[in-house]
Amino acid sequence: MSDDSTAEGTFADLGLRPELLSALTGLGYEEPTPIQREAIPPLVEGRDLLGQAATGTGKTAAFALPVLQRLAADRRIGAPSALVLVPTRELAVQVSEALHRYGRELGARVLPVYGGAPIVRQLRSLEGGVDVVVATPGRALDLVNRGALRLGEVRTVVLDEADEMLDMGFAEDLEAILDHTPDERQTVLFSATMPRRLDSLARRHLDDPVRISLGRERTEPGEAPRVRQTAFVVPRAAKPAALGRILDVEAPTAAIVFCRTREEVDSLTETLNGRGYRAEALHGGMSQEQRDRVMGRLRAGTADLLVATDVAARGLDIDQLTHVVNYDVPSAPEAYVHRIGRVGRAGREGVAITLAEPREHRQLKTIERVSGAPIAVERVPTVADLRARRLELTRSALRETLLEDASEDRLDRFRVVVETLTDEFELMEVALAAVKLAHEAGGVVDDDEEIPQVGFRPDRPDRADRSGRPGRPAGRGTEARGSGGRASGGPAARLFVGAGRDAGIRPGDLVGAITGETELSGRDIGSIEIHQKFALVEVPESAADGVVRALRATMIKGRKATVRRDRA
C-alpha cells in the first residue's frame, strides 16, 4: 500500500455545496473519512444505504452532510424534511449538534427530541418549523400520535445505531414511525453490527440500498509493521493528562501524535507545550515553509513531539521516530496501519499507542482484526507508576555517570564537597541529598493528578434480554429477565408498573421506556418480571425516584401506567 492510497478525494470532490464545504473547513476537517468517501455520493444522489460502521468512523457526517445537501432551497414548509432516529438521548443531542454545526451556513433548523425533556418545549419548537428532527423512537412516536410531528414531507429517514434500537425494544416503534413517512422517501440505516433481525428490517424498508461495510478492505498479512501496540482506555476529558502521563513513562526520543482535526492539533500542541513538552503542530492549513521549519526542528532535536493530522503527516519519513500516538481511535483500520507504519522501520523498535474512549471498544477490535496484530489494553500509569519510573530514570543516569565518569576520574573535583559534608552528615544522607538534586534538575514537576481508571463499556452483555422479543414464559404466566445483569452494582430498588402481559408489555418495552426517558442505560436495569396485570423492574436505588417520575410522565406501549416503588 502506498502512503497516498487513502488520499484520493476531498470533500469538494464528493459534490457537496459550498456552504457545507466552508463549514467543514471551519471545523478543521481536512479530508473525508473512508465511510464518508463511500457513503456521501450515493446519498447525495438519493439512494438508500445500508452501512455497517461503528462510532468513531465519521458516520454521523456521512449521513448528516447529504441530509443537509438535500434540504430544499426553498423550505418554507414547517414540517421536517428529514428524520434521524437514534437509540439514546445522548446520541440525539450529539447528532443534532453535528447537524447544526455542519448546517449553520445553510440556516438549517435542527431539533433534537427525546424523552425526559419537557415535551411542551418540543411541541412549541415543532410548531415553529424545523428541517431536521433527531429523535429517540419512543418520543418520536409520542409526538406523531399527538399530531405534533408531521412526517408527510419527510424525504430522508436515517436509522442510526439501528442494532442498539432493536436491542432496546424499539422495533415496533420504528415500524410505526416509518409507516407515517412517504413511501418514496430515502432510507439510510447505519449499524455497528448486522444481526439477522436487522436484515429483515432493511429488506422491508430499504429500496435497492448501496451497501457499505467498514473494514471490508483487507490489509495484506504482514503489512502492519512489527511494533509494540498498546491502547489505553481514557474518558475524553482526561485525554490531555493521560497523554502527558503516558509520554512521561514512555519517554520517546521522538513521537508523532495524530489528531482528527486542525483545531485538535492546535489545542493539543498548546496544552502539551504548557505541560513542558516541546511539541510542534503540523496540519494542512500551514504553508510549505512553515511545515519545513517544523520538520527541521524535529530533525534537529529541538522539538520532540509532532502533533499532526493524517493529511499533514502523509509522506513524512522521520528517522528518529520511536512512537506513534493515536489521540483518537483512527476512523478506519487502514488509517491505523498507515500511521503505525511510520515507526518500526528498518528493524528499529517502534511503539504505537492509542487512546480509546470507553465506547470505542468495537472500533479497536476491528482495527486489531484488520491489522492482524494484537493491541494490548493497558492501564493508564498512576502517579505512583510515574514516580517510580522517574526514579528509575534518575538511577540509570547516576549509574551511567558512575560507570563512565568514575573510570576517567571526572568525578574527582567533587570530592571536596562530599568530604566537607561528611564531617557534619552521614555519607548516606549526603548521597540522598545529591540524588534529590539530580532528580529535580531535570525540571520535572511531579504531577499528582490521578487519572480515572476506566474500562471499555461492555459490548451489550445482555443482548437477548434487551431484544424486546417475547421472552419465554418463566412459569406461572410471567416473563422474567434474569437478574444479576445490572452492571453498575450498588443497591437496587424494585419498581411496580401497573401494566403487564394483558397490555402486551414485554421486557424490551420497559427497557426502552426507561433508557429513553432517563439517563440510565440498558446495563443499569436489573431483573424484569412481567406478570398478567403488572410488571416489576429493578433499577439502581439512587435513580429509582427519577425513573418513577419519568415513567409516570410518559406512555408505555401507548398507554399511561401506574408506576411506584414496589412495597413487597
Task: Tell me whether residue 412 or residue 459 sits nearer to ligand AMP (CB atom).
Answer: 459
Q: In whole angstroms, how close is the CB of 58 to ligand AMP at the nearest point?
A: 3
Give a three-class secondary structure readout of 29-97.
CCCCCHHHHHHHHHHHHCCCEEEECCCCCCHHHHHHHHHHHCCCCCCCCCCCCEEEECCCHHHHHHHHH
Residue labelled with grid coordinates 571536596: 416
Which is closer to ligand AMP, CB of 102 or CB of 170? Answer: 102
How far, in whole angstroms, is CA 217 from its chain's centroid?
22
Q: Could you say whether residue 102 binds ligand AMP (CB under 6 A)?
A: no
Nearest to 100 by CA among 79, 131, 135: 131
Residues 445-464 as x/- pattern, contact with ligand AMP by CB under 6 A:
--------------------
342 binds ligand AMP (CB under 6 A): no
Q: What's at 402, amino acid-wise? A: L
Nearest approach, Cβ of residue 514 and ligand AMP (Å): 24
Binding to ligand AMP by residue 29, rule CB under 6 A? yes
Give one DSSP letter per residue of 303-371, joined into a string. Answer: --EEEE-HHHHTT---TT--EEEESS--SSHHHHHHHHTTSSGGG---EEEEEE-GGGHHHHHHHHHHH
The residue among 61 and 132 lying less far from ligand AMP, judged by its C-beta, is 61
The nearest distance, CB 67 to ligand AMP, in angstroms, is: 13
Beginning with the edge strand found earlier in the chain, give each strand of the sheet holding 49-52 in spatial order: 110-113, 132-135, 82-85, 156-159, 186-191, 49-52, 210-213
Strand order in the sheet with 528-530: 479-481, 528-530, 535-540, 492-497, 563-565
Q: Which of residues 53-72 bind ligand AMP (CB under 6 A)?
A: 55-61
Please provide the DSSP assignment of 168-205 as one string: TT-HHHHHHHHHTS-TT-EEEEEESS--HHHHHHHHHH
Q: Is 330 in the site for ligand AMP (CB under 6 A)?
A: no
Tell the smallest beta-carbon distance from residue 56 to ligand AMP (Å): 5
Q: Which stretch binds ligand AMP (CB under 6 A): 31-39, 392-400, 449-457, 552-560?
A: 31-39
Give the torsion through C-alpha atoms of 473, 475, 477, 483, to 10 deg.
Answer: -70
Amino acid (one-letter) located at 127? E
Least CB distance to ligand AMP at residue 332 (A): 11
State which residue, 215 or 350, has the beta carbon closest to ligand AMP: 215
Q: Alpha-carbon distance 530 to 547, whole Å?
A: 18
> Least distance to ligand AMP from the beta carbon of 370, Å?
17
**Residue 327 in the binding site for ligand AMP (CB under 6 A):** no
Contacts of 558 (CB under 8 A, 6+ apart): 145
Scan for cell 413517512, then name that residue.
181
Q: Which of 14, 16, 23, 32 binds ligand AMP (CB under 6 A)?
A: 32
Stretch that binds ligand AMP, among 50-58, 123-131, 135-143, 370-378 (CB under 6 A): 50-58
468 binds ligand AMP (CB under 6 A): no
Where does this chain touch ligand AMP (CB under 6 A) — which range of 52-60, 177-185, 272-280, 397-405?
Answer: 52-60
Shortest distance (Å) from residue 107 CB to ligand AMP: 21
| Comparison of 57 and 394: residue with beta carbon closer to ligand AMP | 57
Cβ nearer to ligand AMP, comparing 58 with 115: 58
Question: Which string of x and - marks every residue 130-169 that binds ligand AMP (by CB under 6 A)?
Answer: ----------------------------------------
Pairwise CA distance, residues 383 & 449, whole Å? 7
> Binding string, 498-537, against ligand AMP, x = CB under 6 A?
----------------------------------------
Largest CA distance in the chain: 96
Cβ 52 to ligand AMP shortest distance, Å: 13
Residues that bind ligand AMP (rule: CB under 6 A) add up to a total of 13
Q: Looking at 30-38, 277-285, 338-346, 498-506, which segment touches ligand AMP (CB under 6 A)?
A: 30-38
260 near ligand AMP (CB under 6 A): yes
Residue pair 137/177 in contact (Cβ under 8 Å)? The answer is yes
Work out how close the CB of 262 gets to ligand AMP at its nearest, in angstroms, rounded to a whole number: 9
Here the cell at position 168 is: 432496546
Compute the half-sphere exposure of residue 54: CA atoms within 13 Å on the CB side of its CA.
Answer: 18
Query: Applying CB under 6 A, does 87 fall inside the site for ligand AMP?
Result: no
Rounded Cα distance between 131 and 126, Å, is: 10
Q: How far is the CB of 325 from ligand AMP (least distance, A)?
A: 17
Q: How are the residues of the chain apportioned to helix, strand and coil, as percentages rounded to the nearest 5?
A: 45, 15, 40
The CA-atom distances, in angstroms, between 147 and each of 141, 172, 177, 226, 423 are: 10, 19, 12, 60, 93
For 272, the grid coordinates are: 502539551
Measured from the CB atom, is 35 or 83 closer to ligand AMP?
A: 35
Q: Provide, rounded to whole angstroms, the least separation between the CB of residue 487 and ligand AMP.
A: 23
Q: How far is CA 77 from the centre of its chain?
A: 35
Residue 261 in the binding site for ligand AMP (CB under 6 A): yes
- Residues of the shown chain interacting with ligand AMP in the complex, contacts defined by CB under 6 A: 29, 32-33, 36, 55-61, 260-261
